[in-house]
Amino acid sequence: MTDTADAALVPHASDEVNDARPVSAEAWRSLRANPLFWISATLILVFVLMAAWPSLFTTLDPRTSVLAEARRGPSSEHWFGQDRQGYDLYTRCIYGARASILVGLTATIGTSVVGVTLGLIAGYMGGWVDAVISRFAEIFFGIPLLLGAIIILQSVSFGNSYFAIVGQVAAVLIVLGWPSIFRLMRSAVIQVKPQEYVQAARALGCSPLRIARSHILPNALGPVIVVSTINLGVFISAEAALSFLGIGLRPPTVSWGVMISDGAGAMQSAPHGLLFPSLFLSLAVLAFIMLGDAIRDAFDPKSK
Amino acid sequence: MTSPHTTPAGAGSVAVDHPLLEVEDLFVEFHTRDGVASAINGVSFTLEERETLAILGESGSGKSVTAQAIMGILDMPPAKIPRGQIRYRGNDLLTMADKSRRAIRGPEISMIFQDALSSLNPVFPVGWQIAEMFRKHRGMNRRDSLDEAVRLMERVQIPAAKERVRSYPHQFSGGMRQRIMIAMAIALNPRVLIADEPTTALDVTVQAQIMALLQEIQDEEGMGLILITHDLGVVADVADRIAVMYAGRIVESSDVLPLYAKPAHPYTKGLIESIPQLEDKGKELFAIKGLPPSLLRMPPACKFHPRCTRAVEVCRTDDPELREVEPGRFSRCHFAEEVLGE
Amino acid sequence: MGKYTLRRLLQMIPVVIGSTFLIYAMVFSLPGDPTAGKCGERPCSPQYVAQFKEKYNLNDPLPVQYVKYMGNVLQGDLGESQYGVPVRDELADRFTTTLKLGVVALAFEAIIGIGAGVLSGLRRGGFIDNLVLVSTLVVISIPIFVIGTVLQLYLGVKWGIFPVTVGSDAPWFDLLLPGMVLGSTSLAYLARLMRSDLSDTMRTDYIRTAHAKGLPQGRVVGVHALRNSLIPVITFLGYDFGALLGGAIITEGIFNIHGIGGYVYRGIGDRDGMVVVGTVTVLVLVYLLANLIVDLVYGLIDPRISHD
C-alpha cells in the first residue's frame, strides 16, 4: 500500500532539477559569475608573468645598488623607493616573484603527486598497506612544519646555485606537506569506493588500476584541487617565513621573504622596505587562497 | 502561555464562531537568484477539532511549504508571504507579534517531520529534547520535566522508557525515533497537529503502526490533524477530507470516500489510476505523462494542462476557478462534471 | 573507551619512534666535525674529541645511538647542552613560558574567532559577514612575522600600549601582544570554520524542529546550533594548540621571549645536537599527545562517535 502514488510521481523527479547539465559545466558557470575568481585569476596571471619574464615589468637590474641613495622613499624614478643597500625596491619586488612562485608551484605539484598517489593506494587497497602508509604519513604529520624545516635545512644542502636553493626549500615543504593531501585523498577514495558506479565497474571486471584511474580519481580529485590551490599560497608564505629566519632562501637570491627579513631590520628608518615586499607577498598568497575558495564554492552545491 | 485552549476540556467551549484553523488565500513565494518562485498561489482551507485533513501532492506541489507557513518556520527571506491569512481560533498568525506566535508554536500548533533522524538534535538525549518543551513553555524544573518526558515516551509506546530517556537519537530505530518526534509534538497537548510525511522514511509495517498511533492519539486528545503526504494509500484509512495540491494550488478537495470512488479532477484521477491493482496484473502501469511545472516558469491558465489528456484550447487560455461541483466537492477543472461522470 | 584509548596509544608508538628517529638521524648525521668550534679558535685536542664521541655514543652505528639516547630520554635524561647545562632543566623552565604564550594565543583565538564566526554565520551576506570574510582573508595572507614586527613597532614602540619585549619571567600582560600575534592566523581560520559550520547547522532539520518547538531565537542558536557547531571548533582548537607550541619560534624571536623556540633556534645555530633533538622530541611528543587527547575528547562531545 505504500509508494502507490509514487509510481506516477517519482520517475519524473522533482521540478527543482530542470537543468540536466553536467556538474563541471554548472560549476564553471558559477565560477565565471564569481568576481573573486576573476580578481584572483588576474592577480595570479600577473605574478606568473612576473616570475617568467620580469623584464616585461622593469628595465632596471635588481642587483644594481646605489649606496648613496640608500633608504630613500618612493619617488618618480624609484616607485617603491630604495632599500638600505640602495637597491631599487620595485625592481626587486618584480624579480622576487620568481623564487616565491617557483617554490609554491614546485611544492604544490610535489605534495599533490606524492599525496594523491599514496592516498589512492592506501584508500583503494586498505588493510595492512593502508595501515603502513597511514602510519608513515603520521610520522611526517607529527613534525611541526617550521621545526622540521629548520632541522632539514640545517642538515641537508643541495648546493649553492639558484635552483638548488629554491629546490631545497621546495623539497622540505614537500617532505613535510604531503601528509595533508594524502589524508584528504585517502578519505575521499574511501568515500567514493563503496558507491554504486564503482561497484558496477568492479562487477563488470574492470582492473583495479582502471577503476582507480577512470572512476575513483576523477571523483575524489575535487577537494584535492581546492586544498592544493590554497596550499600554494600557504607554501609561498612558508618560504618567506623560512627566509625570515635566515634558513630559507638567502642573498644574493632575490625573494620577497629575503626582502621582508631585510626590511624588518630597518623598519623605523625605511618602512617602505618592509611595506612593498609584504604587499606583493600577501597579494600572491591572497590570490591563491581566493582562487581555492572560489573553486570550492563553485563545486559545493550548498553554497548556492 | 495561559490560553484557555490548552486543556482538552477548555477546547471548543471558547470561540465557537471561529473554526480551529483557517487558511485563506495564502500566497508564498521564494526569492531566488534565478527569479521569484511562487510556491503557493492562493490556498484556502479550514480545519476543525477532531478532523483529519489530508493534503496530497507530489514534491514541489507546495504541501510542505503550506505546513511550514502555518508553523511559521519558513526562512524569510528567501520566502515571502505577500498575501493571505492563517487564522488560529480567529487570530491571524501572520500579523501576530513574534512572542505571541512562539507561544502558539509548540503548545497550540505543533508538527512532526518526515525524517526523524535528521529532525532530532543529534547531540542531546531524546528525553532532554522532549523535556525542553515543559521547561521552556511551562517553566518546569529539570527533574519534573524529565518525568513528563518518560510519561510521554510510555504514551507513544517506547519500551523501557525510563532507561531510554537518556539515549541519543541515533541509538533508536527509525520507527522509535518517529515515536519520539510524536511524543515531542504532543507534549503540550496542541490543538492542531501537522504531520509532514510522517511515515515516508519508514518500513511498511512500521508505517502502519505509526499511523495507528497517530489516530489513537487524535481520538483521545481530539486535536485537528493535518496529514501531508504523497501516498494515497495512507490517506484512505485515516483522513476525513482530502485536498489535492498541484503547482501550489488546491485542485480538488472533497471527503475521502467520494474522491476515491469518483475523482473530479484529471490529476486526481491520474493519481488514483497509477496505484497498482492486483487485478491489473500483467497490464502496463499507468503513469501521468510529463513533469510538474517549474515554479519559476508556470504555464499559463490551467497549470495542469501540459500534462492533461483532455486539455483543449480553453485550458490554455482560461484559468479555471476552484468551484463546488457537488455539495462538499470542489474541483479546479473546466470539465469537472465530465471527469466526475466517467 | 578504554579499548579505543589503548589502540590509539599502540598506534602512536611507531609514529613516535619514526618521527624521533627521523629527527635524531637528521641532526646527528650532520656532515662536519661535531666538535668544531667547541674549543675556541683552535681545533679540539684528540683526547677531547674522543671523550666527546664516547659521551654521545657517536662511535656506535646510528640506530644504536638512537636506542641509547631514547633509553635515556625514557629515564628523564635529555643530556647536556654544550655549556654543561642539563637540557631537561632548561627545557622545563622555557616550556612554561612557551606554554603560557600558547594559552594566551589559544584564548585570544577562541574568544574572538568564535565570536566573529557566530556573528557572520548567522547573517550570511550581511555587513558583518563581509567584514569578517575580508579581514580574515587579509590576516591569513599577511605572514605572521610581518604582523608581529608591525604590531610591535606601533603598539609597542610608538604608542607604548604593550611592552616591546617580554620580561625574563614572562608575566601574562607582557605575553598579551605576542599571544595575539601568534594566534592571529589560526583565529582567521577558526572564524571561517565557525562561520561555515554554523550557517550549515542553521539549515539543518533539527534547527527547524527547534523553531517548531516555539523556542526563542537565542536558545535555538545558543543551545541547539552552537552545541553542534562547537564540535569541529573544539577539535580545531585542540589540534592547533600543539601546532602553536611548535610554531612559536618566530613570535618568540620577534618579542625576545625566552621560550622553547628561541632555545631550539640557538641550538641549531650552535650545532648543539642534544639541545635540538631534546627539544624537538619533546615538542613532537606534546603535539602527538595533544592530538590523541583531541581524538578522545571528540568521543565525549559528540555522542554519535562511539569508541567501543
Looking up residue C186, the CATH number of its domain turns out to be 1.10.3720.10
* Among A136, A241, A289, beta carbon nearest to C141: A289
Q: What is the DSSP string of A217-281?
A: HHHHHHHHHHHHHHHHHHHHHHHHHHHHTTSSS-TTS--HHHHHHHHHHTTTT-THHHHHHHHHH
Polymer length of chain A? 304
Task: Give the three cell numbers for residue C128.
Answer: 558583518
Residue C181 lies in a domain: yes
Give me the residues of A, 18-57, that contact B with CB < 8 A.
Answer: 18
Mean of pLDDT values over A13-33: 57
| Local confidence band at A13 (pLDDT 50, 70, 90 cut-offs) | very low
Residue C22 distance to chain A (closest CA, Å): 9
CB contact under 8 A, C227 and B123: yes
| Local confidence band at A19 (pLDDT 50, 70, 90 cut-offs) | very low
Let me know if A25 is exposed, middle or buried by CB neighbors in 10 A (0-12, 13-18, 19+): exposed
* C-alpha atoms less than 13 angstroms from C-alpha of A259 in its C-beta half-sphere: 34
Q: Is the pLDDT of residue A243 over 80?
A: yes
Rounded Cα distance between B292 and B58, Å, is: 9
Residue C211 lies in a domain: yes
Cβ-proximal residues to B24 (8 Å cutoff; 6+ apart), any chain: B44, B84, B85, B86, B87
Residue C290 lies in a domain: no
Closest C-chain CA to A283: C141
Exposure class string for A254-269: b at 16+ Cβ within 10 A, else e: bbbbbbbbbbbebbee
Closest B-chain CA to A10: B58
State residue B337's pLDDT score: 75
Task: Give the three cell numbers for residue B197.
Answer: 510525511
State residue A73's pLDDT score: 66
CB contact under 8 A, B119 and C214: no
Q: Which residues of B touch A (CB under 8 A)?
A: 33, 56, 58-60, 199, 204, 207, 230-234, 270-271, 274-276, 285-288, 290-295
Residue C236 lies in a domain: yes
Rounded Cα distance between C307 and C295, Å, is: 10
State residue C273's pLDDT score: 78
State residue B198's pLDDT score: 83
Q: If you average pLDDT over every residue of chain A, what do you get?
A: 77
Rounded Cα distance between B326 and B341, Å, is: 12
CB contact under 8 A, B60 and A9: no
| Per-residue pLDDT in tens (0 to 9) along chain B, 342 residues | 344 444 444 444 444 578 888 888 888 888 877 778 888 888 888 888 888 898 988 877 888 888 888 888 887 778 888 888 888 888 888 888 888 888 888 888 899 888 878 888 888 888 899 988 888 888 888 888 888 888 888 888 888 888 888 888 888 888 888 888 888 888 888 888 998 888 877 777 888 888 888 888 888 888 888 988 887 777 877 888 899 888 888 888 888 888 888 888 888 888 887 777 666 666 666 777 777 777 777 788 888 878 878 877 777 787 888 888 788 888 888 877 777 777
CB contact under 8 A, B276 and A4: yes
State residue C152's pLDDT score: 83
- For the entire predicted model, the pTM comes to 0.80
Rounded Cα distance between B182 and B130, Å, is: 10
Residue C149 lies in a domain: yes
Residue C135 lies in a domain: yes
Interface check for B104 against chain C (CB to CB < 8 A): the answer is yes
CB contact under 8 A, A245 and C149: no
State residue A79's pLDDT score: 65
What residue type is assigned to position A80 of the chain? F
* End-to-end Cα distance, chain C: 5
Task: Give per-10-residue mean pLDDT for chain C (308 aa).
Answer: 79 85 78 57 70 70 82 80 81 87 92 91 84 87 86 80 74 84 89 88 88 87 88 84 82 85 79 81 83 80 69
Closest CA to A151 of C109, C25, C99: C25
Rounded Cα distance between B54 and B199, Å, is: 14
**Model confidence over C139-176: pLDDT tens digits?**
888 888 888 888 888 787 778 777 777 777 767 878 88
Rounded Cα distance between C222 and C202, Å, is: 11
Count of the separate structural domains present in chain C? 1
Does residue A187 contact residue A123 with C-beta atoms inside 8 Å? yes
Tell me the sheet residues that pair with C237.
Answer: none
CB contact under 8 A, A241 and C18: no
Give the start-end residues of each E strand in A42-141: none
State residue B6's pLDDT score: 41
Does residue A186 contact residue A124 with C-beta atoms inside 8 Å? no
Closest CA to A107 of A213, A181, A218, A187: A181
Contact list in A for residue B294 (CB cut-off 8 A) is: 15, 18
**Model confidence over C244-256: pLDDT tens digits?**
887 788 888 888 8
* Among A136, A146, A233, beta carbon nearest to C141: A233
| Local confidence band at A109 (pLDDT 50, 70, 90 cut-offs) | very high
CB contact under 8 A, C146 and A138: no
CB contact under 8 A, C209 and B168: no
CB contact under 8 A, B288 and A1: no
Closest C-chain CA to A274: C146
Contact list in A for residue C31 (CB cut-off 8 A) is: 155
Q: What is the DSSP string of B205-236?
A: HHHHHHHHHHHHHHHHH--EEEEEES-HHHHH
State residue A114's pLDDT score: 94
Interface check for B126 against chain C (CB to CB < 8 A): the answer is no
Let me know if C76 is exposed, middle or buried by CB neighbors in 10 A (0-12, 13-18, 19+): exposed
Q: State the count of interchain CB pairs (< 8 A) between A and B.
A: 61
Let me know if A247 is exposed, middle or buried by CB neighbors in 10 A (0-12, 13-18, 19+): buried
Interface check for B77 against chain C (CB to CB < 8 A): the answer is no
Rounded Cα distance between A51 and A162, Å, is: 14
CB atoms near residue A91 (< 10 Å): 24
| Local confidence band at A112 (pLDDT 50, 70, 90 cut-offs) | very high
Mean of pLDDT values over A245-274: 77
Residue C219 lies in a domain: yes
Q: Is the pLDDT of residue A8 over 60?
A: no
Interface check for C227 against chain B (CB to CB < 8 A): the answer is yes
Residue with more model confidence, A219 or C131: C131
Contact list in C for residue A47 (CB cut-off 8 A) is: none
* Among A244, A268, A282, beta carbon nearest to C142: A282
Backbone angles phi, psi at A49, to 5 degrees: -60, -45
Give me the residues of C, 210-249, that contact A with CB < 8 A.
Answer: 242-243, 245-247, 249
Mean of pLDDT values over A77-96: 73
**Which residue range(s) make up the domain with C218?**
98-260
